[in-house]
Amino acid sequence: MKPTPCSQKWREEVIFHDGDQFFERLKQDIINAKKSIQLQTYIFDHDEIGEKITQSLLQAKKNGVKIKLLLDGMGSSSWTHSEAENLRKQGIEVRFFHPLPWQKSLRLFWQSLGIQKILIGFTKFNRRNHRKLCIIDEEVMFTGSMNISACHSAKLKGKRAWRDTAVRLKGPGIIPYLKACDIAWDYSLKLILKMMRDKKHYRQHLLEQLYHAKSRIWITTPYFIPNRSMMRALRACARNGIDVKLLVPHKSDSSTVKFAVESYYSDLLKAGIRVFEYLPSMIHAKVLIIDNTVTVGSSNMDHRSMFYDLESDVVLSHEENIKIIDEQFLKDLRYAREMLYSKWRTRPLIQILLEKLFICFRAIL
Protein backbone atom coordinates (compact mmCIF):
# COMPACT_ATOMS: atom_id res chain seq x y z
CA MET A 1 0.00 0.00 0.00
CA LYS A 2 1.25 3.45 -0.86
CA PRO A 3 -0.38 6.37 0.97
CA THR A 4 -1.42 9.09 -1.43
CA PRO A 5 0.69 12.15 -0.60
CA CYS A 6 -1.42 14.14 1.83
CA SER A 7 -2.47 17.65 0.83
CA GLN A 8 -2.99 18.76 4.44
CA LYS A 9 -0.34 21.15 5.70
CA TRP A 10 2.20 19.74 8.08
CA ARG A 11 2.74 21.80 11.23
CA GLU A 12 6.46 21.04 11.14
CA GLU A 13 8.75 20.02 8.28
CA VAL A 14 12.49 19.49 8.60
CA ILE A 15 14.50 18.46 5.54
CA PHE A 16 17.71 16.43 5.73
CA HIS A 17 20.24 16.19 2.92
CA ASP A 18 22.91 15.05 5.37
CA GLY A 19 22.71 11.43 6.51
CA ASP A 20 24.61 11.98 9.74
CA GLN A 21 22.25 14.75 10.84
CA PHE A 22 19.26 12.60 9.89
CA PHE A 23 20.39 9.57 11.89
CA GLU A 24 21.31 11.69 14.91
CA ARG A 25 17.83 13.25 15.01
CA LEU A 26 16.17 9.88 14.44
CA LYS A 27 18.23 8.33 17.25
CA GLN A 28 17.34 11.10 19.71
CA ASP A 29 13.64 10.96 18.88
CA ILE A 30 13.64 7.18 19.36
CA ILE A 31 15.34 7.49 22.75
CA ASN A 32 12.89 10.22 23.80
CA ALA A 33 9.79 8.27 22.69
CA LYS A 34 7.04 7.98 25.31
CA LYS A 35 4.55 5.42 23.97
CA SER A 36 5.22 3.76 20.63
CA ILE A 37 7.60 3.37 17.70
CA GLN A 38 6.76 1.87 14.32
CA LEU A 39 9.87 1.46 12.15
CA GLN A 40 9.52 0.00 8.66
CA THR A 41 12.59 -0.05 6.46
CA TYR A 42 13.76 -1.79 3.34
CA ILE A 43 17.40 -2.11 4.44
CA PHE A 44 18.63 -2.40 8.02
CA ASP A 45 22.35 -3.03 7.80
CA HIS A 46 24.55 -4.62 10.46
CA ASP A 47 26.96 -1.69 10.52
CA GLU A 48 27.73 1.24 12.79
CA ILE A 49 24.50 3.07 11.91
CA GLY A 50 22.44 -0.09 12.32
CA GLU A 51 24.01 -0.74 15.72
CA LYS A 52 23.28 2.82 16.91
CA ILE A 53 19.63 2.60 15.89
CA THR A 54 19.32 -0.86 17.46
CA GLN A 55 20.72 0.39 20.77
CA SER A 56 18.35 3.38 20.61
CA LEU A 57 15.39 1.02 20.14
CA LEU A 58 16.54 -1.12 23.06
CA GLN A 59 16.86 1.98 25.24
CA ALA A 60 13.34 3.07 24.28
CA LYS A 61 12.08 -0.41 25.14
CA LYS A 62 13.65 -0.15 28.61
CA ASN A 63 11.67 3.06 29.01
CA GLY A 64 8.43 1.14 28.41
CA VAL A 65 7.89 2.05 24.75
CA LYS A 66 6.02 -0.42 22.50
CA ILE A 67 8.15 -1.08 19.41
CA LYS A 68 7.26 -2.70 16.10
CA LEU A 69 10.12 -3.28 13.65
CA LEU A 70 9.14 -4.44 10.15
CA LEU A 71 12.05 -5.36 7.87
CA ASP A 72 11.82 -6.29 4.23
CA GLY A 73 13.04 -9.86 3.74
CA MET A 74 14.92 -9.11 0.53
CA GLY A 75 16.24 -5.67 1.43
CA SER A 76 17.44 -6.85 4.85
CA SER A 77 18.57 -10.26 3.58
CA SER A 78 21.58 -10.31 5.92
CA TRP A 79 19.22 -10.68 8.89
CA THR A 80 18.55 -14.15 10.23
CA HIS A 81 15.77 -15.64 12.33
CA SER A 82 18.08 -15.91 15.34
CA GLU A 83 19.01 -12.20 15.15
CA ALA A 84 15.36 -11.20 15.03
CA GLU A 85 14.59 -13.63 17.83
CA ASN A 86 17.28 -12.02 20.00
CA LEU A 87 15.48 -8.66 19.71
CA ARG A 88 12.13 -10.31 20.40
CA LYS A 89 13.51 -11.72 23.64
CA GLN A 90 14.38 -8.14 24.65
CA GLY A 91 10.82 -6.98 24.04
CA ILE A 92 10.98 -5.58 20.48
CA GLU A 93 8.38 -6.99 18.11
CA VAL A 94 10.12 -7.95 14.85
CA ARG A 95 8.58 -9.18 11.62
CA PHE A 96 9.85 -9.68 8.08
CA PHE A 97 7.84 -8.60 5.05
CA HIS A 98 8.02 -11.67 2.78
CA PRO A 99 10.79 -13.38 4.77
CA LEU A 100 13.56 -15.37 3.13
CA PRO A 101 14.05 -19.00 4.27
CA TRP A 102 16.75 -18.20 6.84
CA GLN A 103 14.53 -15.52 8.39
CA LYS A 104 11.88 -18.07 9.37
CA SER A 105 11.69 -20.38 12.36
CA LEU A 106 12.73 -23.95 11.67
CA ARG A 107 9.10 -25.09 11.73
CA LEU A 108 7.98 -22.46 9.21
CA PHE A 109 11.05 -23.18 7.09
CA TRP A 110 10.11 -26.85 6.68
CA GLN A 111 6.50 -25.90 5.99
CA SER A 112 7.63 -23.59 3.16
CA LEU A 113 9.35 -26.40 1.23
CA GLY A 114 6.16 -27.69 -0.42
CA ILE A 115 5.77 -27.07 -4.16
CA GLN A 116 2.73 -24.83 -3.68
CA LYS A 117 4.48 -22.80 -0.97
CA ILE A 118 7.57 -22.41 -3.14
CA LEU A 119 5.49 -21.15 -6.09
CA ILE A 120 3.67 -18.68 -3.83
CA GLY A 121 7.04 -17.57 -2.48
CA PHE A 122 8.24 -16.71 -5.99
CA THR A 123 5.17 -14.53 -6.57
CA LYS A 124 5.82 -12.70 -3.29
CA PHE A 125 9.52 -12.26 -4.06
CA ASN A 126 8.83 -9.39 -6.45
CA ARG A 127 6.67 -7.46 -3.97
CA ARG A 128 8.70 -5.70 -1.30
CA ASN A 129 8.31 -3.16 1.47
CA HIS A 130 10.52 -0.41 0.09
CA ARG A 131 9.49 2.16 2.70
CA LYS A 132 11.89 4.03 4.95
CA LEU A 133 9.33 5.09 7.54
CA CYS A 134 9.47 5.67 11.29
CA ILE A 135 6.50 6.95 13.31
CA ILE A 136 7.09 7.88 16.95
CA ASP A 137 4.27 8.31 19.50
CA GLU A 138 1.86 8.68 16.53
CA GLU A 139 3.02 12.31 16.33
CA VAL A 140 6.43 12.45 14.62
CA MET A 141 7.22 10.84 11.27
CA PHE A 142 10.50 10.31 9.46
CA THR A 143 10.43 9.28 5.81
CA GLY A 144 12.37 9.71 2.61
CA SER A 145 14.98 7.51 0.96
CA MET A 146 17.50 6.86 3.74
CA ASN A 147 17.71 3.24 4.83
CA ILE A 148 19.27 2.26 8.14
CA SER A 149 22.72 2.04 6.61
CA ALA A 150 26.16 3.62 6.87
CA CYS A 151 26.18 4.21 3.10
CA HIS A 152 24.38 7.52 3.81
CA SER A 153 26.99 8.71 6.35
CA ALA A 154 29.78 11.05 5.25
CA LYS A 155 31.48 10.56 8.64
CA LEU A 156 31.83 6.86 7.91
CA LYS A 157 32.05 6.74 4.12
CA GLY A 158 33.58 10.12 3.28
CA LYS A 159 33.12 11.21 -0.32
CA ARG A 160 31.57 7.83 -1.15
CA ALA A 161 28.50 8.60 0.99
CA TRP A 162 25.26 8.59 -0.97
CA ARG A 163 23.49 11.91 -1.65
CA ASP A 164 20.04 11.51 -0.20
CA THR A 165 16.96 13.34 1.06
CA ALA A 166 14.68 12.67 4.02
CA VAL A 167 12.14 14.62 6.08
CA ARG A 168 10.87 14.81 9.66
CA LEU A 169 7.20 15.80 9.94
CA LYS A 170 4.51 16.56 12.49
CA GLY A 171 0.85 17.22 11.80
CA PRO A 172 -2.53 15.69 10.92
CA GLY A 173 -1.15 14.30 7.67
CA ILE A 174 0.39 11.46 9.68
CA ILE A 175 -2.93 9.56 9.98
CA PRO A 176 -2.90 7.69 6.62
CA TYR A 177 0.70 6.63 7.23
CA LEU A 178 -0.25 5.16 10.61
CA LYS A 179 -2.95 3.13 8.88
CA ALA A 180 -0.49 2.05 6.19
CA CYS A 181 1.92 0.80 8.87
CA ASP A 182 -0.81 -1.19 10.58
CA ILE A 183 -1.94 -2.84 7.34
CA ALA A 184 1.62 -3.84 6.37
CA TRP A 185 2.26 -5.19 9.88
CA ASP A 186 -0.89 -7.34 9.79
CA TYR A 187 -0.14 -8.67 6.32
CA SER A 188 -3.16 -10.25 4.63
CA LEU A 189 -5.13 -10.49 1.40
CA LYS A 190 -6.58 -7.10 2.35
CA LEU A 191 -3.12 -5.59 1.88
CA ILE A 192 -2.68 -7.09 -1.57
CA LEU A 193 -6.06 -5.83 -2.78
CA LYS A 194 -5.54 -2.37 -1.29
CA MET A 195 -2.04 -2.22 -2.73
CA MET A 196 -3.33 -2.95 -6.24
CA ARG A 197 -5.96 -0.20 -5.95
CA ASP A 198 -3.53 2.31 -4.48
CA LYS A 199 -0.91 1.62 -7.14
CA LYS A 200 -3.42 2.26 -9.91
CA HIS A 201 -4.60 5.45 -8.20
CA TYR A 202 -1.01 6.62 -7.75
CA ARG A 203 -0.13 6.09 -11.42
CA GLN A 204 -3.26 7.94 -12.55
CA HIS A 205 -2.59 10.80 -10.12
CA LEU A 206 1.02 11.12 -11.28
CA LEU A 207 0.01 11.20 -14.93
CA GLU A 208 -2.54 13.94 -14.20
CA GLN A 209 0.14 15.95 -12.40
CA LEU A 210 2.53 15.62 -15.33
CA TYR A 211 -0.01 16.57 -17.98
CA HIS A 212 -1.16 19.58 -15.94
CA ALA A 213 2.37 20.93 -15.42
CA LYS A 214 2.66 24.61 -16.35
CA SER A 215 6.36 25.41 -16.19
CA ARG A 216 8.65 22.65 -14.93
CA ILE A 217 9.12 18.98 -14.09
CA TRP A 218 12.35 18.27 -12.21
CA ILE A 219 13.02 14.66 -11.28
CA THR A 220 15.72 13.24 -9.03
CA THR A 221 15.77 9.45 -8.94
CA PRO A 222 18.45 6.76 -8.81
CA TYR A 223 16.35 4.30 -10.82
CA PHE A 224 14.52 5.77 -13.83
CA ILE A 225 12.68 2.93 -15.60
CA PRO A 226 9.23 4.39 -16.39
CA ASN A 227 6.36 2.64 -18.13
CA ARG A 228 5.13 3.75 -21.56
CA SER A 229 2.46 6.08 -20.15
CA MET A 230 5.01 8.00 -18.08
CA MET A 231 7.41 8.27 -21.01
CA ARG A 232 4.65 9.58 -23.29
CA ALA A 233 3.67 12.15 -20.68
CA LEU A 234 7.23 13.38 -20.15
CA ARG A 235 7.95 13.63 -23.89
CA ALA A 236 4.67 15.47 -24.49
CA CYS A 237 5.42 17.95 -21.71
CA ALA A 238 8.90 18.67 -23.05
CA ARG A 239 7.58 19.19 -26.58
CA ASN A 240 4.99 21.62 -25.19
CA GLY A 241 7.72 23.82 -23.73
CA ILE A 242 7.75 22.50 -20.15
CA ASP A 243 11.21 22.54 -18.54
CA VAL A 244 11.80 18.81 -17.97
CA LYS A 245 15.02 17.84 -16.23
CA LEU A 246 16.07 14.39 -15.05
CA LEU A 247 18.88 13.85 -12.54
CA VAL A 248 20.22 10.30 -12.16
CA PRO A 249 23.49 8.87 -10.79
CA HIS A 250 26.59 8.40 -12.89
CA LYS A 251 27.87 5.94 -10.27
CA SER A 252 25.02 3.52 -9.68
CA ASP A 253 24.92 0.77 -7.05
CA SER A 254 23.65 -1.58 -9.78
CA SER A 255 25.29 -1.88 -13.20
CA THR A 256 22.28 -3.76 -14.60
CA VAL A 257 19.91 -0.98 -13.55
CA LYS A 258 22.34 1.61 -14.95
CA PHE A 259 22.17 0.02 -18.42
CA ALA A 260 18.37 -0.15 -18.20
CA VAL A 261 18.17 3.54 -17.25
CA GLU A 262 20.52 4.51 -20.08
CA SER A 263 18.28 2.72 -22.58
CA TYR A 264 15.85 5.66 -22.21
CA TYR A 265 18.40 8.41 -22.87
CA SER A 266 17.97 8.59 -26.65
CA ASP A 267 14.18 9.02 -26.52
CA LEU A 268 14.45 11.52 -23.67
CA LEU A 269 17.11 13.65 -25.34
CA LYS A 270 15.38 13.65 -28.74
CA ALA A 271 12.19 14.89 -27.04
CA GLY A 272 14.03 17.85 -25.50
CA ILE A 273 14.29 16.45 -21.97
CA ARG A 274 17.57 17.42 -20.32
CA VAL A 275 19.33 14.50 -18.65
CA PHE A 276 22.04 14.96 -16.03
CA GLU A 277 24.27 12.38 -14.34
CA TYR A 278 25.38 13.21 -10.80
CA LEU A 279 29.15 12.65 -10.59
CA PRO A 280 30.46 12.79 -6.98
CA SER A 281 28.74 9.65 -5.62
CA MET A 282 25.57 7.61 -5.82
CA ILE A 283 22.55 9.94 -5.70
CA HIS A 284 19.76 8.01 -4.00
CA ALA A 285 17.25 10.82 -3.36
CA LYS A 286 13.72 10.47 -4.74
CA VAL A 287 12.34 13.98 -5.32
CA LEU A 288 9.69 15.12 -7.79
CA ILE A 289 9.13 18.83 -8.44
CA ILE A 290 6.14 19.75 -10.62
CA ASP A 291 5.72 23.53 -10.78
CA ASN A 292 5.61 24.41 -7.05
CA THR A 293 4.53 20.98 -5.79
CA VAL A 294 7.35 19.01 -4.17
CA THR A 295 7.10 15.31 -3.34
CA VAL A 296 9.78 13.55 -1.28
CA GLY A 297 9.81 9.89 -0.34
CA SER A 298 10.91 6.38 -1.19
CA SER A 299 9.36 6.02 -4.68
CA ASN A 300 11.48 5.80 -7.78
CA MET A 301 10.08 6.40 -11.23
CA ASP A 302 10.40 2.73 -12.14
CA HIS A 303 8.26 -0.37 -12.55
CA ARG A 304 9.01 -1.61 -9.05
CA SER A 305 7.69 1.52 -7.33
CA MET A 306 4.82 1.96 -9.78
CA PHE A 307 3.47 -1.58 -9.71
CA TYR A 308 4.90 -3.75 -6.94
CA ASP A 309 6.47 -2.24 -3.83
CA LEU A 310 5.09 -0.58 -0.72
CA GLU A 311 6.25 3.05 -0.71
CA SER A 312 5.91 6.18 1.40
CA ASP A 313 5.90 9.71 -0.06
CA VAL A 314 4.91 13.14 1.25
CA VAL A 315 4.05 16.48 -0.33
CA LEU A 316 5.81 19.38 1.36
CA SER A 317 3.71 22.42 2.19
CA HIS A 318 6.06 25.02 3.71
CA GLU A 319 7.28 27.53 1.14
CA GLU A 320 10.72 27.79 2.71
CA ASN A 321 11.20 24.03 2.36
CA ILE A 322 10.08 24.02 -1.26
CA LYS A 323 12.77 26.65 -1.82
CA ILE A 324 15.35 24.46 -0.04
CA ILE A 325 14.49 21.52 -2.31
CA ASP A 326 14.72 23.78 -5.38
CA GLU A 327 18.13 25.05 -4.31
CA GLN A 328 19.40 21.53 -3.62
CA PHE A 329 18.33 20.36 -7.08
CA LEU A 330 20.19 23.25 -8.72
CA LYS A 331 23.21 22.58 -6.49
CA ASP A 332 23.21 18.93 -7.53
CA LEU A 333 23.16 19.98 -11.19
CA ARG A 334 26.39 21.90 -10.64
CA TYR A 335 28.03 18.58 -9.77
CA ALA A 336 26.45 16.74 -12.69
CA ARG A 337 27.31 16.13 -16.33
CA GLU A 338 24.65 16.92 -18.92
CA MET A 339 24.12 14.21 -21.50
CA LEU A 340 24.10 15.45 -25.11
CA TYR A 341 22.41 13.50 -27.88
CA SER A 342 25.15 14.33 -30.40
CA LYS A 343 27.65 12.47 -28.19
CA TRP A 344 25.29 9.82 -26.81
CA ARG A 345 24.36 8.55 -30.28
CA THR A 346 28.02 7.61 -30.91
CA ARG A 347 28.27 5.27 -27.90
CA PRO A 348 29.76 1.80 -28.59
CA LEU A 349 27.62 -1.01 -29.99
CA ILE A 350 28.25 -3.15 -26.89
CA GLN A 351 26.68 -0.39 -24.79
CA ILE A 352 23.55 -0.41 -26.96
CA LEU A 353 23.32 -4.21 -26.77
CA LEU A 354 23.60 -4.18 -22.97
CA GLU A 355 20.88 -1.53 -22.76
CA LYS A 356 18.57 -3.66 -24.90
CA LEU A 357 19.37 -6.74 -22.83
CA PHE A 358 18.71 -5.32 -19.38
CA ILE A 359 15.64 -3.30 -20.27
CA CYS A 360 13.98 -6.67 -20.93
CA PHE A 361 14.15 -7.26 -17.17
CA ARG A 362 12.74 -3.85 -16.22
CA ALA A 363 9.85 -5.36 -14.26
CA ILE A 364 12.14 -7.05 -11.74
CA LEU A 365 15.18 -4.76 -11.54
157 is a domain residue: yes
Rounded distance between C-alpha atoms, residue 213 and residue 320, angstroms:
21
Rounded to a whole number of angstroms, the CA Rg of the chain reads 20
User: The domain containing residue 252 runs over which residues?
Assistant: 204-359
Q: Highest mean pLDDT: which of 97-101, 201-205, 340-344, 358-362? A: 340-344
Confidence of residue 7 (pLDDT cuts 50, 70, 90): very low
* Domain shared by 189 and 252, yes or no: no
* Domain shared by 133 and 74, yes or no: yes
Rounded distance between C-alpha atoms, residue 66 and residue 31, angstroms:
12
* Domain shared by 171 and 28, yes or no: yes
Contact 260, 358 (CB under 8 A): yes
249 is a domain residue: yes
> What integer is the mean pLDDT of 201-222?
96
Rounded distance between C-alpha atoms, residue 129 and residue 181, angstroms:
11
The number of domains in the chain is 2
Number of alpha carbons in the 13 Å side-chain half-sphere of residue 64: 2
* Residue 8 confidence (pLDDT): 54
364 is a domain residue: no
* Residue 1 confidence (pLDDT): 43
Q: Which residues, including other chains, have CB under 8 Å from residue 32's CB and lie 6 or more apart? A: none
Tell which of 151, 176, 195 closes a domain.
Answer: 195
The helix-helix angle for 48-62 and 19-31 (nearest 10°) equals 20
Q: Is the pLDDT of residue 215 over 90?
A: yes
Burial class (CB in 10 A: 0-12, 13-18, 19+), 259: buried
* Domain shared by 85 and 221, yes or no: no
Rounded distance between C-alpha atoms, residue 189 and residue 124, angstroms:
12
Centre a 10 Å sphere on the Cβ of residue 336 and count the other Cβ atoms it contains.
20
DSSP 138-203: TTEEEEES--BSGGG-HHHHGGGSPB--EEEEESGGGHHHHHHHHHHHT-SHHHHHHHHHHHHHHH
Instruction: Identify the sign of the CA torsion 110, 113, 116, 122.
Output: positive
135 is a domain residue: yes
* Domain shared by 179 and 243, yes or no: no
- Looking at the chain, the whole-number percentage of residues with pLDDT higher than 70 is 92
* Residue 227 confidence (pLDDT): 94
Tell me the pLDDT tens digit for each residue of 69-105: 999 999 999 999 999 999 999 999 999 999 988 998 7
Here the CATH number for the domain that contains residue 98 is 3.30.870.10
Q: Cα 290 to chain center, whole Å?
A: 19
* Domain shared by 295 and 247, yes or no: yes
* Residue 122 confidence (pLDDT): 54
* Residue 271 confidence (pLDDT): 97
Tell me the pLDDT tens digit for each residue of 233-269: 999 999 999 999 999 999 999 999 999 999 999 999 9
* Domain shared by 120 and 257, yes or no: no
5 is a domain residue: no
> What integer is the mean pLDDT of 50-78?
97
* Residue 358 confidence (pLDDT): 94
Confidence of residue 288 (pLDDT cuts 50, 70, 90): very high
* Domain shared by 270 and 349, yes or no: yes
266 is a domain residue: yes
* Domain shared by 175 and 54, yes or no: yes
Rounded distance between C-alpha atoms, residue 125 and residue 309, angstroms:
10
365 is a domain residue: no
7 is a domain residue: no
Q: Is the pLDDT of residue 192 over 80?
A: no
Q: 293-297 and 216-220 as β-strands: parallel, antiparallel, unpaired?
A: unpaired
Rounded distance between C-alpha atoms, residue 135 and residue 36, angstroms:
8
Tell which of 170, 195, 220 closes a domain.
Answer: 195
* Domain shared by 191 and 214, yes or no: no
* Domain shared by 171 and 26, yes or no: yes
pTM, entire model: 0.92
* Residue 138 confidence (pLDDT): 97
Where would I find the H helices in 242-318?
255-262, 265-270, 303
Return phi, psi of residue 333, to 5°.
-65, -30
DSSP 72-126: ETTTTTT--HHHHHHHHHTT-EEEEES--GGGS-HHHHHHTTSHHHHHHHHHHHT
Tell which of 145, 172, 195 closes a domain.
Answer: 195
Q: Highest mean pLDDT: which of 109-113, 122-126, 182-186, 330-334? A: 330-334
* Domain shared by 66 and 159, yes or no: yes
The 8-class DSSP code of residue 273 comes to -
